[in-house]
Amino acid sequence: MDVEKAKEKSQLKQLMFTTLFGPLGLFYSNKIIAVFLSIFIIPSILAFGFGLFFGWPFSMLVGVICVRQHNIKVQPFLAFQKRKAQYEQGRINGNA
């Protein structure tokens, strides 16, 4: 993961995307799982309609979990960025 580009993702955005777009909304948080669930859920919606009742809520749950895991993984990078910014401004090591 690129330290300079590390950012937290929004739980609300993820929930909105998966509510509106179902498994396609997972592309915000995890592209691999989005492709996998789209391959299985979208045909089940078209064929039997079960994807709406089981797959859609499942993709919403998976999306929230993926964003949570991403944010946990990004925390050390964000702490590093904050510490680096403080160092560059001279607020660390008593230079303030």
pLDDT classification of 4: cutoffs 50, 70, 90: low
pLDDT higher than 90, residue 1: no
What residues does each domain of the chain span?
Answer: 11-88
pLDDT tens-digit profile of 27-36?
999 999 999 9
DSSP the chain: --TTT-----HHHHHHHHHHHGGGGGGGT-HHHHHHHHHHHHHHHHHTSHIIIIIHHHHHHHHHHHHHHHHHHHHHHHHHHHHHHHHHTT-STT--
